[in-house]
Amino acid sequence: MLTACSAVMQSATNNMAANLSAAIMNQDDPETVRDGAPAYLLMLDSFVEGAPDDAAMLGAAAELYAAYGVIFVVDPQRADRLTSRALGYGQRALCVSNHKACGIEALTFKEFEFVLGSLVERDVGSLFTLGLSWIAYIKAHSGDWGALAKLPRVVAVLHRVQQLDGHYKAVQVEHFLAVLNTIRPPALGGNFTAGKRHFERALAMSNGKDLSISVDYARYYARTLYDRELHDSLLEKVTAAQPVQNGYTLFNTLAQREAQELLDAADDYF
């Protein structure tokens, strides 16, 4: 009986975390999320304390910490702490999902690839979370060459997600791969041919609902290649679009702000 009650409580907290995530994504006032999210981060911490072996709860905490740390935190030290916690939760979630992946971050790249190859479809959610939290960590540590050196591992994680389940968070995976291939100039290892391919696929798969894809396309691809025509075309479509889309409203609202800022600075940049 006690076991049954525990299972019911755990299901309730998992549903609460999922509903919280949905509510945040559909919020059209980013300042409300910025001011209110810290309380929910602490709440998720408490859920994790109560269920340290729940991969779904660990994943929810990892994803919210990652998003908050890179979107709303300006102070580098705070961003460091928050994204480090996100990555830690992401690593724990994958370890709980599949014990073979425990300590995967400390392996050599060859060993890392071997473990990725041993993961199965039930691990795909936690694997995606690891990739997302790792991207947030790298972004917050962009001046750290040690962090940047892990980019090939994140790309390998996302490719494995696609192999295990090509439909899981497919738009986000394509978007992440696009950014990872263009975040560095070609001379430093960026693959802009692959990046453009991923951007175009992400745009097509989202049916234009996720405006952040176009902003990143302009920021990382068009700006680096000094393609003013593509840059302005992408951003003008973003500023003219309807930002309220189920599951995308928060990021679309932020994307429109960023798009206008990039357009305003275009004359100086180009």
Could you give the angle at the alpha carbon of 18 between the alpha carbons of 172 and 115, nearest 5°? 55
pLDDT, position 12: 46
Q: For residue 32, what are its two tokens?
A: 């409300």
pLDDT, position 231: 98
Structural contact between residues 127 and 160, judged by C-beta atoms closer than 8 angstroms: yes
In the predicted model, residues of the chain with pLDDT beneath 50 are: 1-12
> What does the alpha-carbon distance between residue 260 and residue 255 come to, in Å, rounded to a whole number?
9
* Residue ranges of domains in the chain, CATH in brackets: 14-133 (1.25.40.920), 169-270 (1.25.40.920)
pLDDT, position 20: 73
pLDDT, position 2: 43
> What does the alpha-carbon distance between residue 105 and residue 110 come to, in Å, rounded to a whole number?
12
